Structure 1
Amino acid sequence: MSMKRANAYLKNVLAHKECVAFRKFKNGVGKCAQAKQFNTITGRWPKRAAECIQNLLRNAAANCEFYGKDPDDFLIDHIQVNQAPALTRRTYRAHGRINPYNRHTSHIQVILKELEANIKTK
C-alpha cells in the first residue's frame, strides 16, 4: 500500500467510512457490511490503533523528507506489531490485598520500500 493510500485509509477508518477487517482473532467481533471489500464479514473501526499508526506513518514521511526523498515514492512493505513487556503497577483491593495493574504495550515495526522508476507494466 502506498503512503498516500494508507493515510487516506486511516482517515476513512476514523470517519467510519472504511473498516478494518478482522480475519484471525474475531471472536466477539460484530458483522460489518464494509468488510465485504476484504472478502470477510467481520470488521471494526479501532480509533486508538488508527491514530497510533497515523502518527507512525507521519514520522516515517518526516524521515523520508529528512533524507531528501519524496514520501510519495515509497510503499509500505511490511508492518508488524509485537507484544512488549507490560508496565506493572499495583491496585489495592479489599481485605489488604494487592493485585497487579498492567498496561499492555506493543512494538510496531514499519518497513518502507522505495518504488523503482523503471517498472514495466503489461
Structure 2
Amino acid sequence: MKLTEKPPEIYWVNALLSAVAVGYPPHITMVRYAATSIDNAKSARARGSYLRTSFKNTRETAQAINGWRLERALTFLGNVIEHKEAVPMRRYAGSTGRTAQGKAFGVSKARWPVKSAEFVLGLLKNAEANADTKGLDTSNLVVKHIQVNQAPKQRRRTYRAHGRINPYMSNPCHIELILTEANEAVQKAEPIAHRLNSRQQGRATRRAITAA
C-alpha cells in the first residue's frame, strides 16, 4: 500500500460518520433494558436474544434466582444441571410432576430444565465478566433484575405415515439480566423507651391483670 493511500478502516469510519450526519441510524445501536432506574455505572448487564430454549422453563428458572447473590445463583444452576436441586414451577406448572426437592421453595411441583439452566448460567458468567471489567466487586454482586420475554415462535413439520403431518413447534425466548453490588447492611437502632403517663400506666396494669 502506498503512503498516500488510506487504510480500509478509515473508509468505514468516514461512512459511519457521514450516515450519522445525514440522519441515518448507525449499524451499532444500544439495546434497551426493561429496568431503567438502575444506575449503569454501578451495574453490569448481559442479554441473549432468540435463544432456542423453552420460554416457560426459562422463565421459571430466572424467577427462582431473582434477587439472589451471584455466588448462590451460580451454585444453584450448577446443581440443577446435576439434578441436585430443582427449579420450582409456579406459573407454568401444567403437567409437572411432584418432587421432594420442591419443598425448599414451598412448592410440590419442580423440574430440572437443564437447557434453560445452561443458558442462564452462561449469561450470569458473562455479566460477571462485565462487572469485573468495570471494576465492581464480583464477590458482592446480586441479581438485581432478570427478565425472560417470548421470542417469535418457530414452526416446522414432520411427515408421518399414511399422509399425516405433525407440527414441530419451538418457543424461543429473550433473556436480560442486571447485576449490582449488594447494599451494606445497616444495623437497626434500638427502640427508644418512652415514659408512660399515669393513665397509660393504669391501662397497662389492667391489661396485665386481665391477661393473667
Q: TM (normalized to structure 2)? A: 0.50
Counterparts of 1:58-97 in structure 2 under 5 Å?
58-87=125-154, 91=157, 93=159
What's the counterpart of residue 121 of structure 1? Answer: 187
Tell me: CA distance 1:120–1:17, structure 2 relative to 1, closer, same or farther (3 Å): same
**Equivalent of residue 48 in structure 1, options 115, 119, 139:** 115
The DSSP-based 3-state class of the residue aligned with 2:94 is coil
What letter is aligned with 1:55? G
Aligned-pair Cα RMSD in Å: 2.3
Choose the corresponding residue for 1:10, options 77, 86, 104. 77
The farther-off stretch of 76-85 and 44-53 is 76-85
Contact 2:146 2:175 in 1 (8 A): yes
Residue of 84, 105, 123 corresponding to 1:38 = 105
The TM-score, its normalising length taken from structure 1, stands at 0.83
Map Cα deviations across residues 31-88 of structure 1 (whole Å, 9 max, x no partner): 0100001111000100000000000000000000111112222110121100012356
Q: 1:45, 1:53 → 2: CA distance?
A: 13
Asked which structure has the greater RCO (Cα within 8 Å, sep 6+), the reply is 2
Aligned AA (1:121): Q
Which segments of 5 or more consecutive residues in structure 2 lack a partner in the other structure?
1-67, 189-212
Which is richer in helix? 2
Change over 3 Å in CA distance of 1:99–1:22 after alignment to 2 = closer
The count of residues paired between Structure 1 and Structure 2 equals 120
Larger radius of gyration: 2
How far residue 115 of structure 1 moved from its aligned partner, in angstroms, is 1.8
Structure 1, unaligned runs of 5 or more? none
Aligned-pair CA distance for 1:16: 1.0
